[in-house]
């Protein structure tokens, strides 16, 4: 047997071993379960939009601002103003309104979950 032929066989043996290892690891990856997309139970009160006053435009913004000025604890108008601010591209103002609304409700309440849900979607859309 020639030494060059021995080297070629050795290279083929290593290549076959590497290929076999790759096939084995690919088979292991294929057996993993697919991850679930969502890990929470459906809660219809959480996923609803927070709306204190129906409509759009400057008239709605003025009406919501008046509601907040009249009642410092008005949560829904603050959350709706925050969402409108995000839709208008004013993220800092939207953050201020969302933080103000969240400070007025207790953690874990249905209203808190609905506001954080809307806040998250506004952040996602703003990105």
Q: Is 122 helix (H, G, I), strand (E, B) or coil?
A: helix
Provide the residue-wise pLDDT of the chain in tens; the chain has 127 residues. Answer: 556 677 778 877 777 777 777 766 766 655 666 666 655 556 677 777 888 888 888 999 999 999 999 999 999 999 999 999 999 999 999 999 999 999 999 998 999 999 999 999 999 988 7
C-alpha 7/C-alpha 14 separation (Å) is 11
Global pTM reads: 0.65
pLDDT at 73: 94
For residue 32, the 8-state DSSP code is S
C-alpha 72/C-alpha 78 separation (Å) is 10
């Amino acid at each position: 047997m020639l030494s060059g032929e021995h080297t070629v066989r050795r290279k083929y043996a290593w290549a076959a071993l590497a290929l076999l290892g790759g096939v084995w690891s690919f088979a292991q990856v294929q057996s993993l379960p697919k991850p679930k997309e969502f890990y929470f139970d459906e809660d219809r009160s959480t996923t609803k939009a927070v709306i204190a006053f129906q409509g759009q435009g400057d008239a709605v913004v003025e009406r919501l601002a008046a509601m907040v000025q009249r009642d410092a604890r008005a949560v829904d108008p603050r959350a709706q103003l925050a969402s409108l601010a995000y839709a208008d591209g004013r993220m800092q103002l939207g953050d201020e309104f969302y933080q103000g609304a969240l400070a007025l409700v207790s953690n874990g309440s249905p209203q808190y979950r609905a506001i954080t849900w809307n806040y998250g979607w506004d952040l996602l859309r703003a990105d």
